Amino acid sequence: QVHHGFYSAYYNTTLRHEILKSVQWAWKTYGRLPINVVGHSMGGALASFCALDLSVKWGSHKVQLITFGQPRVGNPAFAEYFNEQVPRTIRVTHENDIVPHLPPYFYYLGEWTYHHFAREVWLRETIVGNVVTRNETVCDCSGEDPTCSRSVYGRSVADHLEYYGVNLHADSRGTCQFVIGASNSAYGDILQFDGTIILSRYPQKRYPVESI
């Protein structure tokens, strides 16, 4: 069982069609590169369904998923299935980020509760005197490690909007932008082609999309 809203936002919109088309275009143009699926918040939920879709379609060895502050999207049976189909998954959480605690997890409901898939990496800071230490805890394979983000009350919106020092907040659609690290700044040529956004070091040629 999965969350109907998140599932529908991926499968019942143009999103899935455009992503599959873009992957086919990239493979036709550059060869069969590995696929990295990334998302934050609700985008992380959609990225999860996308990674599962691509993994079932083209093989788990081609797909890697990393999400930041994503909510739960399915029950324990789905989480187990997801772990099998998309084993190369990292689900990053930050301090007291509220969103990974939603929808709620109730252990006593068994298969009738929402349940995270693995593997969580929990970011947090510890302060001893004047020393601030940033920690990355690699959690267990249960998806609901009680020593990671489940060990705190998830009540912070601020922690949700900042990951690895990057502010992920946008005041409006017009303020959304690409986040490009300094090491990748050379790939600053941005081209939008038939719904596909391309970041490149060099100006791009326009290739037709063909089925694979």
Residues belonging to the active site: 41, 97, 160
Tokens of 16: 């899935």
- Beta strand 63-68 with 89-94 is parallel
Can the peptide bond before residue 208 be classed as cis, meaning omega within 30 degrees of 0? Answer: no
What does the alpha-carbon distance between residue 126 and residue 129 come to, in Å, rounded to a whole number? Answer: 10
Coil, helix or strand at residue 148: coil
User: Under a CB-based contact definition with an 8 Å cutoff, are residues 166 and 179 in contact?
Assistant: yes
Q: How many helices (H) and strands (E) does the chain have?
A: 4, 9
Bridge partners for 64 per DSSP: 36
Strand (E) or helix (H) holding 163: strand 162-163
